[in-house]
Amino acid sequence: MRGTTSRRWYYIIATVVVVLAVVIGTALWWNQRNAWKVADPAPLPEPVPVLQAAQTDGPAPDPATVTDALAGPVADPALGKLSGQVTDAATGDVLWTADQDRMLVPASSTKLVTATAALLTLAPDDRVGTQVLRGAEPGQVVLKGNGDVTLQRSPGTGFFTDAASISDLAAQASAALGGEKVTSVVVDNSFRQGDLFNSTWDGADIAAGNVAALGAVMVDAGRLDPSQNYSPRSATPAADAGRDLAAALGVPGVPVSASDRAVATAGEDATLGSVESAPLSTRLRDMMQHSDNLLAESVAREVAAARGAEPTFAGASEATLAALTEAGIDVSGAILKDNSGMSADNRLSAHILDGIVTAAAGDGDHAAALRPLLDALPVAAADGSLVDRYGPDSGARAGAGWVRAKTGTLDGVNALAGTVTTDSGRVLTFGFLSNGSDMDAGRAALDRLTAALRRL
């Protein structure tokens, strides 16, 4: 009996404990539920743009102060013939000049014109497509280019950021072909018009890793070694892209050719695969960071096509300058034979270069559209074409991290144009062109000019 009674009390107590636990738990849940309803969630703060108009928090240096600061560095004979201009980005006031309207060879600082025209004309998310089509002949595959020079062989192997790949095209084409045998590959290079190699360029620069024939479809802009910026370029970049496609399709030995004329296809349903380049904003950053000449020429043709101009060297040059003029950027006297700066026949002034950067850094009508230009500029001692400059023994160390600028280099030519934040917190824009100068000594002298501005 005692055992039965004990078990009965045990069950009663256990039941009470369970009931109490449920009651208490329910009460806590109800209170917590009400607690969650006490206050509405705090509104999220408005996002702050990464790049804004130049601020006026720091005191603006007066022209006399800037002149004194530059007096020593500007006297360096390593500068050769100099054209220079410095401006207060916030106000647009010109603080210093030296033959600012003198037209000199700009080298790759020309890319400032190209990038600015692209940002004024095209959308930041514009992409360039490439297709694989079924050819009119049995077993023939056509690689149709529309101007993307940034393709890579397979993801992670290329030079450019987020580039489309030949392997992706091949995978799509193989699936669409369903086992059909591929007997030949033809590259349709007809999208390009006029000369593919600028008449003012030096053919030796192909092996030097600076240029190649501007194909309608290119892998790594023709680099033979995509791990190196200045890798020698291919003499047959369009056909190379076709050979890469054949290899990716598993038929590396089939005949491959490239045609400057439109290649016949199987009809409206001929598409076997397609890919798109990275957006314009990404491609412009690559162009400016690595000073890639063929990417600049390709982007310039996108500008020409959008403006209804001929997609040739001449048509693209006219289109880019016209875009700047319409935006109120003074390009009077400018001469462009290309849009990369490889042509020694180009002529720009410090006034033009500084005016472009001021338009992006200030708060004018087109500043918002041009702001990505500033983000694309190499940072002194940190990245891009300035990564190896402004070192500890350069005499320009003060500018490291504070100068952002597009470089330019040819034989006897050095250029630097961009922004610098002074020690007092003011943003200045500058354009410097140096002709008749030694490459290394001239570069170092320009770096010291901008470092002097940083110290203001």
Q: Which amino acids are annotated catalytic?
A: 108, 111, 291
Hunting for tokens 């290079």 — which residue is that?
189
Name the residue type at position 22. Answer: V
Supply the angle between the helices 111-121 and 350-361 in degrees, to the nearest 10. Answer: 40
Residues 74, 442: contact at Cβ < 8 Å?
A: no
**Number of CB atoms found within 10 A of residue 13's CB:** 10
In 3-state terms the chain splits into helix, strand, coil percentages (rounded to 5) of 40, 20, 45
44: DSSP letter:
P
Query: DSSP string spanning 413-437?
Result: EEEEEEEEE-TTS-EEEEEEEEES-
Name the residue type at position 455. Answer: R
**Strand, helix or coil at 185?**
strand
Residues 6+ apart with CB under 8 A from 332: 352
The terminus-to-terminus CA distance of the chain in angstroms comes to 100
φ, ψ dihedrals at 73, nearest 5°: -60, -35
Measure the CA–CA gap between 77 and 96, rounded to whole angstroms.
19
Closest CA to 115 of 328, 318, 406: 406
43: DSSP letter:
P
Name the residue type at position 239. Answer: A
Dig out the tokens for 64 from the structure.
């006399």
Measure the CA–CA gap between 84 and 97, rounded to whole angstroms.
5
Residue 143: beta bridge partners?
132, 187
Overall size of the chain counted in residues: 456
Supply the angle between the helices 293-306 and 313-326 in degrees, to the nearest 10. Answer: 70
